[in-house]
């Protein structure tokens, strides 16, 4: 009987530790309280050197707003409950570490964007600001693999920006 209690006690402690970690989502009520059902995001204006980054950013914002807050894409800006204007200010990829032969071993992709979010029918922005994100990716002698790693880093950095945008809107309430 004592042996059985000795086994159960660690399991109970582990159970209470894992369930009481305090993790919770950010305030998703912001989107529900404002009755946001859909969002309009036109293509980001692009002041950077990347010809494709604005497309990846737009897709990431739509995906994350849908996945995290249930917002669907609107048919037009006029029918949207929430509309977002965005500008890609900078896109850079720089080497951050080198091997013994002084060749790049790892790169860092950095993005900086300027955003404005508007509630339907209101001229003043609901939120306005700049966000930045970065993601590291490995260097590769094969140019195709190098380009693929950079595209994956761009997608990851864009999703980080979308998460930060959602948090910024929710924290502004």
User: Tokens 């060749």 belong to which residue?
Assistant: 103
What are the pLDDT digits (tens) for 102-147? 999 999 999 999 999 999 989 999 999 999 999 999 999 999 999 9
How long a stretch of residues is the chain?
173
pLDDT at 100 over 50: yes
Distance CA 165, CA 127 (A): 9
pLDDT at 173 over 90: no
Q: How far is CA 27 from the centre of its chain?
A: 16
Strands 104-119, 127-138: pairing kind: antiparallel
pLDDT at residue 18 in the model: 58
Crossing angle for the helix pair 143-171 and 53-69, nearest 10 degrees? 50
Contact call for residues 91 and 110 (beta carbons, < 8 A): yes
Handedness of CA 55, 57, 58, 60 (dihedral sign): positive
Distance CA 94, CA 106 (A): 9
Extract the tokens encoding 124: 């003043």
- Band of pLDDT at residue 36, cut at 50, 70 and 90: confident
pTM: 0.79
What are the pLDDT digits (tens) for 41-54? 999 999 998 989 99
DSSP 42-62: PPPEE-SS-SSHHHHHHHHHH
pLDDT at residue 12 in the model: 63
CATH code for the structural domain at 27-171: 3.30.160.150
Distance CA 13, CA 77 (A): 52
Contact call for residues 96 and 108 (beta carbons, < 8 A): yes
**pLDDT, greater one: 25 or 148:** 148
């Amino acid at each position: 009987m004592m042996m059985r209690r000795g086994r159960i006690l660690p399991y109970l402690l582990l159970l209470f530790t894992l369930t009481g970690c305090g993790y919770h989502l950010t305030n998703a009520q912001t989107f529900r309280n404002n009755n946001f059902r859909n969002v309009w995001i036109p293509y980001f204006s692009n002041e950077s050197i990347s010809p494709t980054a604005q497309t990846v950013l737009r897709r990431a914002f739509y995906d994350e707003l849908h996945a995290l807050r249930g917002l669907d894409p609107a048919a037009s800006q006029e029918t949207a409950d929430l509309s977002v204007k965005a500008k890609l200010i900078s896109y850079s990829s720089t080497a951050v570490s080198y091997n013994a032969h002084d060749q790049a071993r790892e790169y860092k992709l950095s993005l900086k964007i300027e955003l404005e979010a508007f509630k339907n029918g209101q001229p003043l922005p609901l939120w306005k600001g700049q966000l930045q994100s970065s993601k590291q990716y490995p260097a590769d002698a094969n140019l195709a693999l190098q380009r693929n790693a950079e595209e994956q880093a761009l997608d990851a950095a864009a999703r980080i920006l979308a998460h930060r945008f959602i948090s910024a809107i929710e924290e502004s309430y």
